[in-house]
Amino acid sequence: MRKAGIALIGYGTIGTGVIEILQDNKETIQKRTGLDIELKYVVDKDWTTPRRVEIQSAKKISDYKEALNDPGVEIVVELVGGTGFAYTLLEESLKSGKSVVTANKALLAEKGAALFDLARQQGKTIAFEASVCGGIPIIRTIADALAGDVIQSIYGIVNGTTNYILTKMAEENLDFESALKQAQKLGFAEADPTLDINGYDAAHKAAILAGLAFNTPVDYQKVYAEGIIGIDSVDIQNAEDLGYVVKLLAIAKRYPDHTFEVRVNPALVSRDNQLSFVRNEFNAILLESTFLGNSMYYGRGAGSRPTATAVVADIIDIARSLEGSAQKSAYVPFQNLSMKNIGETQNRYYVRFNVMDKPGVLSKISGIFGNHNISIASVVQKERSATDYVPLIMTTHSALEKNMVLALDEIEKLDFCRKRGVMMRIIE
Amino acid sequence: MRKAGIALIGYGTIGTGVIEILQDNKETIQKRTGLDIELKYVVDKDWTTPRRVEIQSAKKISDYKEALNDPGVEIVVELVGGTGFAYTLLEESLKSGKSVVTANKALLAEKGAALFDLARQQGKTIAFEASVCGGIPIIRTIADALAGDVIQSIYGIVNGTTNYILTKMAEENLDFESALKQAQKLGFAEADPTLDINGYDAAHKAAILAGLAFNTPVDYQKVYAEGIIGIDSVDIQNAEDLGYVVKLLAIAKRYPDHTFEVRVNPALVSRDNQLSFVRNEFNAILLESTFLGNSMYYGRGAGSRPTATAVVADIIDIARSLEGSAQKSAYVPFQNLSMKNIGETQNRYYVRFNVMDKPGVLSKISGIFGNHNISIASVVQKERSATDYVPLIMTTHSALEKNMVLALDEIEKLDFCRKRGVMMRIIE
């Protein structure tokens, strides 16, 4: 099996998540990809703070140069953040012939051009899925899925903190300050939320997306960023009245005259737009492209594990492109799972019966459900005047499908039931 | 530049779209990928029916064997459909040392196992993004973005015809037959809609997704498929009353005991679930995975151009993996577009003023907007009793931002205006 040696720099929140995935899913990744992703080094200055995940076999070091000097390390994962040391680290890694995975949006938005140039010269890769909305595979969607298409515009809810605040202001009629406090309490906003609420975090992401989608350099300093500080709940309510939802949007558009725009601003989003349904801390990105049309990608923007998933995907992607990596097909059936029969599945159910409007009917039906271990969640009986039969609507808690079928069989035979009950499954 | 020779078999609706993209975007694809994707052959039995797109330089032939015998052809694109000749074609292509791109869901769901085995033996790729929801890059998301993660469940609206019908039944209170007729009239349902409305089309897609996500063989014959034929609008309305929307779902779930389920059935989907907002002919797939959490992918399911985009993405993907393909970075800034200043952008606007409640105010403000080429779309003036100042809310048609700023500057100076108007942009 082809080995790929990894050095991970930065044993923080995301780094811990990456280590967790590489260790927990090592065998799965091997079987899926035919690659042995070997975490050789974890580099950090702090080896005393306890972390959520223990390092199993990687060497724990404090000097990143030791890792760069090891020819067995082919991929360096930068998770230190900032635009100072991180820049040096990427530069030295590329010069040492390593490919790089980074989650560092500020670095790429502000100083990416030189690094990407260097990577091209070195014939190495900078992979950066985790830099924009960790839980949404938007970088590879643009670079791979839309490689043959031309993207015309990008509209994104790319900052979970501000989306959480705006959702609470709209749905619970909170003012900005109260919504921010709630977000901080729940961990959706940092103690110093400045970069989020003034739109700079979103502007970093917008700059990266625009450069990638439009194949153009983007001067981050020129990106217009208007945040949500001091946004008035009156305007959010007015927007609702007009049929809109206020969202902080990252926007990038291309024009036929060789110009483009990139900006971040709060906007009234029409309820006909899928983005208007993106609530709380979730992110989503809507792409409009010539051939594919509209498509939207939705998920968690941040968090240790979603972002770590993106980092691991990038590691695997680079490893797959290394010389001697063989696996070709996406579909690798190394499991031989057994398929459940529909009768063995568990569902919540909606059922509708047409029953005679007389005493004892509900108790009889409920009794049959109970005998089959089906617990009723709600009952609606509507009165109808023109007929002896009335609709009886019930929902159940989760039950085994074969029990449900037996219950319906039994109920169908009752003389007060006009025909077999209509049954549909419920998904929360 | 590395050349990759392509033979496309099937000059139908999707084939035409693929040819269109490869021809229209040839230069863009070259610059982005460093690859010259050369369409060498188009194979079809019918060379008389006029098509939407003319073939520029590929050789037009009727015998696919000619293409398979050409060592310059590295990728065969199968767009003939069906499970008979298509199977032979894939088999012979793989045996001839070609990789294959296919949009054929029935073939893969029903007979895929043997073909994927053959591909592995030959060290070649079968790429099949276009086989499941052409406009949603779900195959590469599962295979690449989630390569390090473990998918627990998949819930998909994967059939546009049935989603259109259910949307119309719910929103316009149509019965099944009328909604189906409307779908047929608008081209969202075929003259014979059987495979769609009985759930078999969705079941093919569910089987492919489950096999890919759970790394297991799936016996398509055992997939439970319940369609929407004869679904009663009464139940759809009842579902609405209970806070649910009825959708035809493709469902796949994995269990800890080495079992899984795959099925298609109509379901009541909670309004708290993103899938409930997917309307009309659109598709969406919700994945639940251990590390990434919930993510959703939304777009057009079918259609010539979306599906063709997926085919082209697969062609590029395989070409990138061919020996001698050099380009490494996703970000390739070969354009040098000029960034618009925020003042040069066009937007619709929402504005709120606090104005004195006296005659002439509205006409004065409207006049200033008019002088700056800003056309008003709507006006809401709310009466307030406790103050001389009342909120005046306006929305505008699309206008140049710098004109808007000038107008707000001017209005701010009027003596009946308490402070500068609040302005937000509108996105439909």
DSSP state of B321: H
What pLDDT score was predicted for residue A411?
Answer: 97
What pLDDT score was predicted for residue A39?
Answer: 98
Secondary structure of residue B192 in the 3-state scheme: coil
- Boundary of a domain, candidates B245, B273, B300: B300
Average pLDDT over residues A378-385: 79
Q: Sign of the C-alpha dihedral, residues A40, A46, A48, A51?
A: negative
Taking the C-alpha atoms of residue B101 and residue B79, their distance in angstroms, rounded to an integer, is: 9
Q: Sign of the C-alpha dihedral, residues B73, B78, B84, B87?
A: positive
| pLDDT tens per residue across span B106-134 | 999 999 999 999 999 999 999 999 999 99
What pLDDT score was predicted for residue A358?
Answer: 84
| pLDDT tens per residue across span B174-188 | 999 999 999 999 989
Average pLDDT over residues B376-393: 83
Instruction: Assess whether A154 and A248 both reside in one domain.
Output: yes
Instruction: Assess whether B202 and B167 both reside in one domain.
Output: yes
Q: Do A124 and B246 touch (CB under 8 A)?
A: no
- Mean of the per-residue pLDDT values of chain B: 95
* Closest by CA position to A94, among listed A113, A74, A111, A109: A74
Secondary structure of residue B360 in the 3-state scheme: coil
| DSSP H helices in B62-172 | 64-68, 85-95, 105-122, 138-140, 160-171
| pLDDT tens per residue across span A101-127 | 999 999 999 999 999 999 999 999 999
Lookup: tokens for A259: 């110009």
Candidates A339, A345, A401, A404, partner chain B, best to mutate (most B CBs within 10 A): A339
| pLDDT tens per residue across span B245-270 | 999 999 999 999 999 999 999 999 99
Instruction: Assess whether A378 and A356 both reside in one domain.
Output: yes
* Closest by CA position to A41, among listed A61, A65, A21, A56: A61
Average pLDDT over residues A400-408: 98
Lookup: tokens for A316: 């695997």
What pLDDT score was predicted for residue A385?
Answer: 58
Instruction: Assess whether B411 and B389 both reside in one domain.
Output: yes
Q: Which residue has the tokens 């906007």?
A: A267
pLDDT surpassing 90 at residue A238: yes
pLDDT grade for B410, boundaries at 50, 70 and 90: very high
* Closest by CA position to B138, among listed B331, B348, B338, B300: B300
Taking the C-alpha atoms of residue B64 and residue B45, their distance in angstroms, rounded to an integer, is: 10
Taking the C-alpha atoms of residue A406 and residue A343, their distance in angstroms, rounded to an integer, is: 10
> Which residues in chain A are closer than 8 Å to B259, comparing Cβ atoms?
337-340
Residues near A337 by beta carbon (within 8 Å), at least 6 away in sequence: B214, B216, B254, B258, B259, B260
CATH of residue A279's domain is 3.30.360.10
pLDDT surpassing 80 at residue B385: no
Q: Do A141 and B144 touch (CB under 8 A)?
A: no
Residues near B402 by beta carbon (within 8 Å), at least 6 away in sequence: B343, B344
Sheet holding A59-61, edge to edge: A59-61, A35-43, A2-9, A73-78, A99-102, A126-127
| pLDDT tens per residue across span A331-381 | 888 999 999 999 999 999 999 999 998 888 999 999 999 999 999 999 998
Q: Which of A129, A295, A300 sits opposite B136 (nearest CB)?
A: A295
Residue A26 φ then ψ, to 5°: -55, -45
Taking the C-alpha atoms of residue B144 and residue A313, their distance in angstroms, rounded to an integer, is: 6
Instruction: Assess whether A15 and A143 both reside in one domain.
Output: no
Q: How far B151 CA lies from chain A's nearest CA (Å)?
A: 12
Percent of chain A scored above 90 by pLDDT?
90
Q: Of residues A98, A111, A205, A247, which has the active-site annotation?
A: A205
Average pLDDT over residues B193-217: 97
What pLDDT score was predicted for residue A427?
Answer: 96
Taking the C-alpha atoms of residue A70 and residue A7, their distance in angstroms, rounded to an integer, is: 10
| β-pair type (B293-300, A293-300) | antiparallel
Owning domain of residue B107: 2-134
Q: Which residue has the tokens 């609507």?
A: A393
- Judge whether B334 lies within some domain: no
Instruction: Assess whether A278 and A378 both reside in one domain.
Output: no
What pLDDT score was predicted for residue B209?
Answer: 98
pLDDT surpassing 80 at residue A384: no
Taking the C-alpha atoms of residue A352 and residue B238, their distance in angstroms, rounded to an integer, is: 9
Q: Which of B270, B295, B328 sits opposite A119 (nearest CB)?
A: B328
Establish how many alpha carbons lie within 13 A of residue B203's alpha carbon, considering only the half-sphere containing its beta carbon: 22
- Mean of the per-residue pLDDT values of chain A: 95
pLDDT surpassing 90 at residue B143: yes
Residues near A342 by beta carbon (within 8 Å), at least 6 away in sequence: A401, B224, B261, B263
What pLDDT score was predicted for residue A309?
Answer: 97
- Judge whether A217 lies within some domain: yes
* Closest by CA position to B292, among listed A348, A248, A137, A385: A137
Q: Do B270 and A344 touch (CB under 8 A)?
A: no
| β-pair type (B224-225, B259-270) | parallel
What pLDDT score was predicted for residue B77?
Answer: 98
Are A165 and A190 within 8 A, CB to CB?
no
| pLDDT tens per residue across span B40-76 | 999 999 999 999 999 999 999 999 999 999 999 999 9
What pLDDT score was predicted for residue A217?
Answer: 96
Taking the C-alpha atoms of residue B371 and residue B360, their distance in angstroms, rounded to an integer, is: 16
Average pLDDT over residues B194-210: 97
- Judge whether B20 lies within some domain: yes
What pLDDT score was predicted for residue B381?
Answer: 85
What separation in angstroms does the CA of A74 have from each of A38, A40, B30?
10, 10, 27
Enumerate residues 306 to 335 of chain B having a beta carbon within 8 A of any beta carbon in chain A: 306, 308-310, 312-313, 315-317, 321, 326, 328-335
> Which residues in chain B are closer than 8 Å to A124, comparing Cβ atoms?
328
pLDDT surpassing 70 at residue B327: no
Q: Do A309 and B315 touch (CB under 8 A)?
A: no
Taking the C-alpha atoms of residue B79 and residue B19, their distance in angstroms, rounded to an integer, is: 12
CA-angle at B272, arms to B131 and A302, nearest 5°: 75
Instruction: Assess whether B226 and B366 both reside in one domain.
Output: no
**B393: contact with A, CB 8 A cutoff:** yes
Instruction: Assess whether B372 and B406 both reside in one domain.
Output: yes
pLDDT grade for B326, boundaries at 50, 70 and 90: low
pLDDT surpassing 70 at residue B386: no
- Judge whether A333 lies within some domain: no
- Judge whether A260 lies within some domain: yes
pLDDT surpassing 80 at residue B328: no
**A33: contact with B, CB 8 A cutoff:** yes
How crowded is residue B212: how many other Cβ atoms within 10 Å of its Cβ? 26
Instruction: Assess whether A64 and A120 both reside in one domain.
Output: yes
Helix and strand totals (H; E) in chain B: 14, 18
Instruction: Assess whether B158 and B198 both reside in one domain.
Output: yes
As a whole number of angstroms, the longest Cα–Cα distance in chain B is 86
Instruction: Assess whether B123 and B167 both reside in one domain.
Output: no
- Boundary of a domain, candidates B75, B104, B134: B134
Q: Which of A25, A329, A425 sits opposite B120 (nearest CB)?
A: A329
Taking the C-alpha atoms of residue B144 and residue A139, their distance in angstroms, rounded to an integer, is: 12
Q: How far B385 CA lies from chain A's nearest CA (Å)?
A: 17
Taking the C-alpha atoms of residue B377 and residue A165, their distance in angstroms, rounded to an integer, is: 29
CATH of residue A359's domain is 3.30.70.260
What separation in angstroms does the CA of B79 have from each of A28, A32, A268, A342, B204?
33, 27, 43, 33, 17
pLDDT surpassing 80 at residue B387: no
Catalytic residue positions of B?
205
| pLDDT tens per residue across span B215-237 | 999 999 999 999 999 899 999 99
Q: Sign of the C-alpha dihedral, residues A333, A339, A342, A346?
A: negative
Q: How many domains does the structure of chain A reveal?
A: 3
Instruction: Give the chain A residue whose CA is nearest to the CA of B130.
Output: A145
Cα of first residue to Cα of last residue in chain B, in angstroms, is: 42
Lookup: tokens for A286: 């809507």
Are B258 and A337 within 8 A, CB to CB?
yes
Residue by residue, what is the 3-state secondary structure of chain A?
CEEEEEEEECCCHHHHHHHHHHHHCHHHHHHHHCEEEEEEEEECCCCCCCCCCCCCCCEEECCHHHHHCCCCEEEEEECCCCCCHHHHHHHHHHHCCCEEEECCHHHHHHHHHHHHHHHHHHCCCEECHHHCCCCCCHHHHHHHHCCCCCEEEEEEECCHHHHHHHHHHHHCCCCHHHHHHHHHHCCCCCCCCHHHHCCHHHHHHHHHHHHHHHCCCCCHHHCEECCCCCCCHHHHHHHHHCCEEEEEEEEEEECCCCEEEEEEEEEEEECCCHHHHCCCCEEEEEEEECCCEEEEEEEECCCHHHHHHHHHHHHHHHHHHCCCCCCCCCCCCCCCCEECCHHHCEEEEEEEEEEECCCCHHHHHHHHHHHCCCCEEEEEECCCCCCCEEEEEEEECCEEHHHHHHHHHHHHCCCCECCCCEEEEEEC
Sheet holding B35-43, edge to edge: B59-61, B35-43, B2-9, B73-78, B99-102, B126-127
Q: Do B292 and A315 touch (CB under 8 A)?
A: no
Taking the C-alpha atoms of residue A40 and residue A318, their distance in angstroms, rounded to an integer, is: 16
Q: Which residue has the tokens 């967790």?
A: A20
- Boundary of a domain, candidates B82, B102, B134: B134
pLDDT surpassing 70 at residue B384: no
Percent of chain A scored above 70 by pLDDT?
98
pLDDT grade for A42, boundaries at 50, 70 and 90: very high
- Judge whether B305 lies within some domain: no
| pLDDT tens per residue across span B283-297 | 999 999 999 999 999
CATH of residue B103's domain is 3.40.50.720
- Judge whether A286 lies within some domain: yes
* Element spanning B299, H or E: strand B293-300
pLDDT grade for B329, boundaries at 50, 70 and 90: confident
Instruction: Assess whether B236 and B368 both reside in one domain.
Output: no
pLDDT grade for B315, boundaries at 50, 70 and 90: very high
Are A369 and A400 within 8 A, CB to CB?
no
Name the residue type at position A322.
L
- Judge whether A39 lies within some domain: yes
Q: Do B235 and A352 touch (CB under 8 A)?
A: yes
Average pLDDT over residues A86-98: 98
Whether the ipTM is more than 0.85: the answer is yes
